[in-house]
Structure 1
Amino acid sequence: MKTLHTAEQKLKERIKELTCLYEVTSLIVHSDYEQIEEVLKAIADCLQRAWQFDKETYVELETPVTSIYTEERGEAYVFLQSPIKVFNEQKGLIKVGYPSPKYTLDDFLVEEQQLLDNVCLEVGNLLERKEIKDNQESIRRQVEQADRLRILGEITAGIAHELNTPLANILGFAELLRERVENDPLATKDLDKIITNTIFSREVVKKLMFFACEMPEERNTLNIVPIIKDAMDLLRVTLAKNEVSCDLEVNTENIELRTDKIQLTQVLFNLIVNAIYFSPPNSTIKIKVTDKKDKVVLVISDEGSGIPKDKASSVFDPFFTTKPVGEGSGLGLSVVHGIIKSHKGSIAHAPNKPKGTVFTIEFPKLK
């Protein structure tokens, strides 16, 4: 359906194309990164109006953010298309089409392909700027989180040291009193409660010191696969009681890491016990360990309820817990964070699919 154009028609088409490019540029310049889907939809509408046979034009705009499709004009199409590149890597494309067989590629104008290329370039620039902004925001949050945890670590270390001496005195004098009143059952029972609660408090202080990286450690180069299997075996009864299974996947049976065995076991216990607590019956906790050239990556995922978005930034804070009162001290993940930090490693969490949480730990291979 090739059409001959008069000078007036050609001028009209150029005006439509220039108007489209101007509108697209304006949309991008004034865009709000929080409403980028609306911006991309408006760009698709601009393209639809800019083509020669605009009443029959169909546009597909695909990006990592969203996919936009204008109202369909037929069942099959012949398309012009151009890639959307973000940092020189194709991350999407725009296709503009006419219904076929009514139209063929010959019905598109050379200038329309040029316009499409220019619009894709502008969209790519928009996505690049959004990615840079998102990365900056992510880095800012990480810095704030690290700074908050550093301050909490310093405060926690001071609190732990201050509590250690009086707790030791309470425990020591309570045990001495118990020997003196051993013929008084009621007094002995009360002292047993004091001793039990003092020991519990001392364990809380130990966890606080773990968080603050104040506990002594003994690091050796160890194969961590047996350590992980032992931890899983020790939790076998708890897993069975909660009707939860635990699978281990390793890319090699010999994964060496310079670590403290007790601390690594505590990291595993805290993360697996947490996963068990939040996992529904008949679900599976997956542990995947990957030995890489310069690091060891440990991933623990569950199928539980997941971490609420408004709580995500607080999970490593001391005494923070989503468990009911009396069912958790809120120190498990802060202890894990402290141990991993002392190993120069990192820990992050993300939603599991379709539900649950994934914790990813990276240990650098330090000599």
Structure 2
Amino acid sequence: MIPTEERLKERIKELTCLYEVTSIIVNCDYDQIEDALKGIMHCLQKAWRFSAETHVALVTDQYSIKTLNFPDQSVSLKSSISVFNKKTGYIQVVYPLPNYGSSDFLLEEKKLLKNICLEVGNLLERKQIKDNEDLIRRKMEHADRLSILGEITAGMAHELNTPLANILGFSELLKTRIKNDPQANRDLDKIINSAIFSREVVKKLMFFACEMPQQMDLVDIVPIVSDALNLMQPSLKSKKIVDELKFSTQSIFLRVDAIQLTQVIFNLMLNAIYFAPPKSIINFLITDKEKSVEIIIKDEGPGIDPKIRNKIFEPFYSTKPIGEGSGLGLSVVHGIVKSHKGTIKYLPNKPKGTIFVIEFPKK
């Protein structure tokens, strides 16, 4: 039997533990939640009857924390942690063997451990809710930014089309009038070539802004993708890069704009070829799923720096040297995929490189 005075001391320790744990949770910084969990474990150590010999382990699907010198042989109390009614871990309080046995644990300590596990579960639920809110907010901000950029670029494209058409038209007229001046003709050729290049940039802007008219048809995309990759062979061979193209079935039918799909393949392959090292492999896998078609491109380049991951689909943003890229390739791809109600994401390739995953819904 435990003396009444000792029982009273134990109740005070347990109430103090509950108060301290509640204070830790109320003042918790969700970015430093592991520190809060360690603080809760320390409170539990102090609350147990033989606190000097008490050790605590807290294990969840995200955390695994133990007190120093955690014994291999022990007797323990254990209670589960639930997050949204799903068991995701446990807290274990132990005494080392052979000095202690299960009878050294008090009934009140079992109740205390259960209450602390409930509080920890509530804390992890709130953290998960906050993380989800932050993720949704970032996605909405990114979508809003791209939407605004789309409106701006659409306006720019329309405004530039007319002057570019005038430059091309009047340059061609001047060429017919100035036939005996070779230098003037060479200068006009430069003007015409620059105007044509600018027109292509405008076309990419309109792709990004989804302003290009779409011709949606149910087509077999296997020959479309194969032909697009065949056209890239000279670029692949120049860097001695091997491309591996695989289809899940011989025919994959999808309702798409064939020209825009080709544009997606071109832009992603051009990016992969540019960043892939010589003698590397670019994998291209197209899978026919029940409700969608998945396109995966894997390269072995340097990968995408996490610091710029929120910018890669923005127009005019490029990691290539000045003069080697307009910064419109991935933004065009994003615009086309979005106009087809699809999704595009990227993942790190292991051990190095980038994986782009595009999913087009079947309609």
TM-score with structure 2 length normalisation?
Answer: 0.90
CA distance in 2, matches of 1:253, 1:11: 77
Quick check: 1:56–1:73 contact (8 Å CA) kept in 2?
no
State the 1:328 CA deviation.
Answer: 0.8
Partner of 1:342: 339
Alignment partner of 1:8 is 2:5: yes
CA distance in 1, matches of 2:35, 2:243: 44
CA distance in 2, matches of 1:319, 1:269: 18
Partner of 1:275: 272
* Aligned amino acid, residue 327 of structure 2: G
* Aligned amino acid, residue 7 of structure 2: K
Of residues 304, 307, 311, the one that matches 1:310 is 307
State the 1:35 CA deviation.
Answer: 1.4
CA distance in 2, matches of 1:281, 1:273: 14
Alignment partner of 1:228 is 2:225: yes
Moved over 6 A (4+): none
Of residues 13, 30, 35, the one that matches 2:32 is 35
Q: 1:359 to 1:96 in 2, by over 3 A?
A: farther
Partner-residue secondary structure (3-state), 1:75: coil
State the 1:74 CA deviation.
Answer: 3.0
* Aligned amino acid, residue 111 of structure 1: E
Partner of 1:151: 148
Q: 1:338 to 1:180 in 2, by over 3 A?
A: same
Alignment partner of 1:19 is 2:16: yes
CA distance in 2, matches of 1:35, 1:145: 26
* Aligned amino acid, residue 25 of structure 1: T
Quick check: 1:231–1:265 contact (8 Å CA) kept in 2?
yes
Partner of 1:191: 188
State the 1:228 CA deviation.
Answer: 3.3
Partner of 2:316: 319
Alignment of 1:237-252 (within 5 A): 237-248=234-245, 250-252=247-249
Alignment partner of 1:333 is 2:325: no
Alignment partner of 1:79 is 2:76: yes
Partner-residue secondary structure (3-state), 2:309: helix
* Aligned amino acid, residue 112 of structure 1: E
CA distance in 2, matches of 1:126, 1:196: 63
CA distance in 2, matches of 1:351, 1:12: 56
* Aligned amino acid, residue 359 of structure 2: E
Aligned length: 363
Alignment partner of 1:210 is 2:172: no
CA distance in 2, matches of 1:272, 1:173: 36
Q: 1:130 to 1:252 in 2, by over 3 A?
A: farther
* Percent of pairs with identical residues: 61
Per-residue CA deviations over 1:173-217 (Å, capped at 9, x if unaligned) read 222323333443322221221111111111001001101111122
Unaligned runs of 5+ in 1: none
TM-score with structure 1 length normalisation?
Answer: 0.89
Alignment partner of 1:60 is 2:71: no
Q: 1:12 to 1:231 in 2, by over 3 A?
A: farther
Alignment partner of 1:125 is 2:91: no
Alignment partner of 1:174 is 2:171: yes
User: Which one is further off, 162-171 or 52-61?
Assistant: 52-61
State the 1:102 CA deviation.
Answer: 3.7
Partner-residue secondary structure (3-state), 1:313: coil
* Aligned amino acid, residue 300 of structure 1: I
Partner-residue secondary structure (3-state), 2:290: coil
State the 1:63 CA deviation.
Answer: 3.0
CA RMSD in angstroms, aligned pairs only: 2.4
State the 1:85 CA deviation.
Answer: 1.8
Alignment partner of 1:95 is 2:57: no
* Aligned amino acid, residue 219 of structure 2: L
Quick check: 1:170–1:198 contact (8 Å CA) kept in 2?
yes
Per-residue CA deviations over 1:298-320 (Å, capped at 9, x if unaligned) read 33344433333332222221111
